[in-house]
């Protein structure tokens, strides 16, 4: 009984502490990191008990304004979201992002026939090509570590490029680079100024829950005081590109 009470008290305490991160002088909010001495190189599974040891930090999200006539306007509603961070040897990091999303918008690229499609004209039929998948992204400066100033939230700048770790439901994970608006490109198609990880492969896993998503991504080189920011897309609202929920810069301790 006493043990149960203690457990409950500790849980409440950790949740309340995790709600508000520590604000820094530069305005960013510091996210606590749980250090794991034997953190695997691959992303930790989303259901791993390790995640219970990391504090859940609430993400304060904003909605981008409409791009064109007919795009949804900001009604003030943003999904509840949080992030947990694990770090291992060599500053290897793994993040888990949890967010609310009432609809499962998994939009795979194609549908295949059970027989493999050999007798069919088209081997792969288009999936629901009018749907947009749920997605999330972690943006990290190409140069890790302590920053005097952060890159522009609009996909970085020429002198401050960024790396984007991107997941879409039904499409998997990919690593992108950018140095400003409309410059996003797959990591294996252009220079990788960060030198953090070769190619576009990105280790991660995702799980659909009853009321939302949990997505885990491995972040190469998560040095202390590295800035991070986050974005979430709700496919049900036709969100993609610059139509999304986004956060300002955070910083890992």
| Nearest to other proteins of 100, 238 (CB atom) | 238
Of the candidate spans 5-13, 103-111, 148-156, 195-203, the one that interacts with other proteins by CB under 8 A turns out to be 103-111
Task: By CB under 8 A, tell whether 109 contacts other proteins.
Answer: yes
| Nearest to other proteins of 126, 198 (CB atom) | 126
Of the candidate spans 38-46, 79-87, 178-186, 244-252, the one that interacts with other proteins by CB under 8 A turns out to be 178-186
Residue located via tokens 């990788």: 192
**Residue 71 exposed, middle or buried by CB count within 10 Å (0-12, 13-18, 19+):** middle
Nearest distance, CB of residue 134 and other proteins, angstroms = 15
Cα-flanking dihedrals φ and ψ of residue 91, to 5°?
60, 30
Answer for which of 7, 52, 53, 120 binds other proteins (CB under 8 A) is 120
Answer for which of 127, 172, 208, 237 binds other proteins (CB under 8 A) is 127
Task: By CB under 8 A, tell whether 240 contacts other proteins.
Answer: yes
Task: By CB under 8 A, tell whether 77 contacts other proteins.
Answer: no
Q: What angle do CA 75, 208, 107 make, to 5 degrees?
A: 75
Cβ atoms of 131 and 104 closer than 8 Å: no
Of the candidate spans 50-58, 148-156, 217-225, 234-242, the one that interacts with other proteins by CB under 8 A turns out to be 234-242
Q: How many of the other CB atoms lie within 10 Å of CB of 108?
A: 15
Site for other proteins in 136-175 (CB under 8 A): 171
In angstroms, rounded to a whole number, what is the distance separating the alpha carbons of residues 41 and 89? Answer: 9
In angstroms, rounded to a whole number, what is the distance separating the alpha carbons of residues 162 and 37? Answer: 28
Cβ atoms of 85 and 93 closer than 8 Å: yes
Beta bridge partners of 175: 165
Binding site for other proteins (CB under 8 A): 67-70, 107, 109-110, 113, 119-131, 171, 181-184, 189-190, 238, 240-242
């Amino acid at each position: 009984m006493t043990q149960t009470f203690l457990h409950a008290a500790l849980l409440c305490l950790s949740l309340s502490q995790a709600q508000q991160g520590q604000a820094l002088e530069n305005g960013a909010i510091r996210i606590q990191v749980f250090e794991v001495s034997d953190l695997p190189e691959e992303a930790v599974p989303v259901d791993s008990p390790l995640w219970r040891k990391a504090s859940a930090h609430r993400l304060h999200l904003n909605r981008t304004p409409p791009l064109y006539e007919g795009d949804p306007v900001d009604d003030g509603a943003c999904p509840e979201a949080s992030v947990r961070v694990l770090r291992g040897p060599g500053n290897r990091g793994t993040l888990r992002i949890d967010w609310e999303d009432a609809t499962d918008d998994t939009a795979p690229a194609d549908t295949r026939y059970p027989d493999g499609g050999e007798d069919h004209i088209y081997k792969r039929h288009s999936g629901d090509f009018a749907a947009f998948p749920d997605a999330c992204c972690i943006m990290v400066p190409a140069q890790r570590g302590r920053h005097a100033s952060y890159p522009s939230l609009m996909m970085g700048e020429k002198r401050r490029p960024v790396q984007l770790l991107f997941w879409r439901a039904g499409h998997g994970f990919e690593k992108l680079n950018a140095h400003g608006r409309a410059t996003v490109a797959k990591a294996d198609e252009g220079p990788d100024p960060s030198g953090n990880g070769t190619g576009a492969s990105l280790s991660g896993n995702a799980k659909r829950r009853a009321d939302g998503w949990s997505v885990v991504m491995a972040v190469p080189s998560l040095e202390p005081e590295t800035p991070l920011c986050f974005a979430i897309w709700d496919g049900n609202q036709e969100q993609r590109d610059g139509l999304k929920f986004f956060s300002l810069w955070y910083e890992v301790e």
